[in-house]
Chain A
Amino acid sequence: MATVSLKNLVKKYGHLEVVHAINLDVEDREFVALVGPSGCGKSTTLRMIAGLEPISGGHIHIGDREVNKLPPRQRNISMVFQSYALYPHMTVAENMGFSLKIAGKSQDEISAAVADAARTLGLEELLERRPSQLSGGQRQRVAMGRAIVRHPDVFLFDEPLSNLDAKLRMQMRTEIKKLHAKVQSTVIYVTHDQVEAMTLADRIVIMRDGHIEQVGPPEEVFRRPASRFVAGFIGSPTMNLHNAVVGAGKLVFANGDTLPLPQQFRDRVTEGQKVIFGLRPDDVYPAGHGIHSGEAAEVHSVEVPVSLTEPLGNETLVFAEFAGQDWISRMLNPKILRMGDRIKLSFDLSQSHLFDAATEKSLRG
Chain B
Amino acid sequence: MRGWKPAPHILLLMPAFIVLAAVVVVPLLLSLYSSFTPFRLTRPDTIYTFIGFRNYQRLFADREFWVAFGRTVLLLTVALNLEMVLGLFLALLVEKATRGQRLLRTIMMFPMMFSPILVGFQFKFMFNDNIGLVNNALQSLGLTDQAIPWLIDGKLAFTSILIAEIWSSTSVFAIFILAGLMAMPKEPLEAAKVDGCTPLQSFRYVTWPFIMPFAFIAMTIRSLDIARAYDIVKIMTDGGPAKRTEILWTLISRTAYSDARMGLANAMAYVAILLSILFTVMFFRQLAKARQQIGAEW
Contacts and interface: CB of A to CB of B under 8 A. Distances in A.
Interface of A: 50-52, 71-73, 77-79, 81, 83-89, 98-99, 102-103, 130-133, 146
B101 interface: no
Contacts of B48: none
B287 to A, nearest CB: 14
A72 B191 CA distance: 10
Interface of B: 185, 187-188, 190-198, 201, 205-206, 209-210, 293-295, 297
Contacts of B209: 89
Nearest to A149: B195
Contact of B193 (A72, A84, A103): A72
Query: What 6 A-B pairs are tightest by C-beta distance, nearest first?
Result: A85-B187, A132-B295, A99-B195, A85-B191, A72-B193, A89-B294
B49 to A, nearest CB: 57
Say whether chain B's binding surface is mostly helix, strand, loop, or mixed.
helix
B297 A102 contact: no
A96 to B, nearest CB: 10
Contacts of B188: 85-88
Contact of B194 (A73, A84, A86): A73
Contact of B190 (A77, A85, A102, A146): A85
B193 A51 contact: yes
Given A88-B294, A98-B205, A73 B187 contact: no
B194 A77 contact: yes
Between B187, B195, B197, the greatest number of chain A beta carbons within 10 A of the residue's beta carbon is seen for B195
A83 B187 contact: yes
- Choose among B192, B209, B293, B295 the residue with the greatest number of A CB atoms under 10 Å from its CB: B295
Contacts of B196: 73, 99, 102-103
Given A51-B193, A52-B194, A77-B194, 19 more contacts: A72-B190, A72-B194, A79-B191, A81-B187, A86-B188, A87-B206, A88-B188, A88-B294, A89-B209, A98-B192, A98-B195, A98-B205, A102-B197, A102-B201, A103-B196, A130-B295, A131-B295, A132-B295, A146-B195
A73 B293 contact: no
A99 B205 CA distance: 11
A72 B192 CA distance: 9
B210 A71 contact: no
Contacts of A98: 192, 195, 205
B194 A89 contact: no
A83 B186 CA distance: 11
B295 A81 contact: no
Nearest to A86: B188
A102 B295 contact: no
B295 A73 contact: no
Q: Which of B185, B190, B201, B209 has the most CB of A within 10 A?
A: B190
Contacts of A73: 193-198
A130 B188 CA distance: 14
B187 A84 contact: yes
Contacts of B193: 51-52, 71-73
B295 A89 contact: yes
A79 B293 contact: no
B295 A88 contact: yes
A132 B194 contact: no
